[in-house]
Amino acid sequence: MPTFVYTSRCVGCGDCVDICPSDIMHFTKDRKTVNVEPDACWECMNCVKVCARFAIDVRSYADFVPMGHSISVFRDEKSQKVYWRIKYRNGKVKEFAFPIRTTPWGSIKPPQELPEPDPQDLYTPLLSSEKENTIKIEVSRK
């Protein structure tokens, strides 16, 4: 049971159902969520990171990982950091924090807001931003 849900904390918002790349977080009949296919779980922890209620946890694959470990993660888009806490079977703890992004979320300028390319450039190997940044594209060695 790679990721699992503490049902008392789950409010049925569905954020984990929405994000799971493997399509294995599903709603139960009483609108809690459940990992329906633990053996198709990659332990990517996207469901854990997205859950605002901290209702999802990981107990790693029991068939090769000894019990007694734990891992917690808090991904914060305000401080732009992801915080990790790893607890060993023997009780030792490791803590780390890493940056996740250097610009505000939503700040990417879409391609349609960039100046329109010269129509003739469609017939060259140039890709977007390469002309402006004078990226050198060596053409053909033949």
Partner 1 sequence: MTKVSYVDSDILIIGGGMAGTGAAWEARYWGRNLKIVLVEKANIDRSGAVAMGLSAINTYLGLKYNENTIEDYVNYVKTDLMGVVREDLVYDYSRHVDSTVYLFDEWGLPIFKDENGRYVREGRWQIMIHGESYKPIVAEAAKKSVSEIYNRVMITHLLKDSQNPNRVAGAIGFNVRDGRVYVFRSKAVIVSAGGGSQIYRPRSTSEGKGRTWYPHWSSGSSYGMLIEAGAVMTMMEARFSVPRYKDGYGPVGAWQLMLKAKQTNAYGQDPFSLHKEELKKLYDGKFKYVDAFPTPTNLRVYSSLLELKQGRGPIYLHTEQVLTEKNEELGWEDFLDMTITQAILWAGQNIDPIKTPSEVLPSEPYVMGSHATECGAWASGPEDMVIKEAKSVDERGTSYNWGYNRMSTLDGLFLAGDACGASPHKFSSGSFTEGRIAAKSAVRYIKEHSDENVSPDSSQVEQLTVRIFEPIERHNRNKRMITGGKVSSNMMWYEQGMARLQKLMDEYAGGWGSWYTTNEHMLLRAQELLTYLKEDFLNYAVAEDYHQLLRTWELWHRILTAEAVVNHMLFRKETRWPGYYVRSDFPALDDDNWRVFVNSKYDAKTGAWKLWSVPVVDLR
Phi, psi for residue 50 in degrees, rounded to 5: -85, -15
42 has catalytic annotation: yes
Pairing of strands 33-35, 93-99: unpaired
Window 77 to 116, contacts with partner 1 (CB under 8 A) = 82, 84, 86-90, 92, 94, 96, 98-108, 110-112, 114, 116
List the one residue from 2, 5, 33, 55 that touches partner 1 (CB under 8 A): 2
Q: Is position 71 an interface residue for partner 1 (rule: CB under 8 A)?
A: yes
Q: Is position 28 an interface residue for partner 1 (rule: CB under 8 A)?
A: no
Question: Residue 74 is encoded by which pair of tokens?
Answer: 């808090």
Question: Residue 91 is encoded by which pair of tokens?
Answer: 């009780």
Rounded Cα distance, 90 and 69, in Å: 8
Count of residues in contact with partner 1, rule CB under 8 A:
78
Q: Is position 29 an interface residue for partner 1 (rule: CB under 8 A)?
A: no
